[in-house]
């Protein structure tokens, strides 16, 4: 998927303008890479646009163990935004990745995350 299309989908899902979705997307991918094993991050990279995939490349060091609050703090700091926007951004990136990388690959990624972060990848239920 082209970077622009990915970022546009993140913008639409997060309810932010595309110029805010780009730093949000980058912040989420960088933070996700820190939280995943090097091998798992590397398996995701080919599914993303060439401009985004380098954000998922890391050395083979083990993943950092941090939870939901620290994940959101890092995303908010990197994207220069507040926590509610960071949460919407994380949800939007994970849901967009689900469409891009497929269910099975994303399940492998999510298995390395705490349950509260995994829950963000689930689509929001539609109201009546």
Tell me which H or E stretch contains 118: helix 115-118
Domain ranges across the chain: 3-121
Which pLDDT belongs to residue 89? 96
What whole-number distance in Å separates Cα of residue 46 and Cα of residue 28? 17
DSSP state of 50: T
Asked if residues 59 and 82 have their Cβ atoms less than 8 Å apart, the reply is no
Which pLDDT belongs to residue 70? 97
What is the tally of helices (H) and strands (E) in the chain?
A: 7, 0
Q: What is the pLDDT of residues 37-57, one digit of tens each?
A: 888 888 888 888 888 888 888
What whole-number distance in Å separates Cα of residue 17 and Cα of residue 13? 10
Which CATH number is 3-121 given? 1.10.490.110
- Cα→Cα distances 38→29, 32, 35, 41, Å: 13, 11, 9, 5
- Cα→Cα distances 44→41, 79, 105, 125, Å: 5, 21, 8, 26
Asked if residues 29 and 52 have their Cβ atoms less than 8 Å apart, the reply is yes
Q: What is the pLDDT of residues 94-128, one digit of tens each?
A: 999 888 888 888 888 888 899 999 998 886 554 44
DSSP per position, 21-65: HHHHHHHHHHHHHHHS-HHHHHHHGGGS-TTTGGGG---SPPPP-
């Amino acid at each position: 998927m082209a970077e622009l299309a990915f970022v546009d989908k993140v913008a639409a899902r997060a309810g932010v303008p595309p110029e805010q979705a780009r730093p949000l997307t980058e912040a989420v991918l960088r933070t996700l890479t820190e939280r995943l094993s090097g091998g798992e991050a590397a398996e995701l990279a080919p599914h993303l646009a060439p401009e985004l995939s380098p954000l998922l490349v890391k050395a083979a060091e083990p993943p950092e163990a941090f939870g939901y609050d620290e994940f959101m703090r890092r995303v908010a700091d990197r994207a220069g935004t507040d926590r509610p926007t960071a949460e919407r951004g994380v949800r939007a990136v994970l849901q967009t990745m689900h469409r891009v990388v497929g269910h099975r690959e994303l399940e492998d990624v999510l298995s390395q995350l705490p349950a509260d972060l995994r829950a963000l990848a689930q689509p929001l239920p539609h109201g009546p």
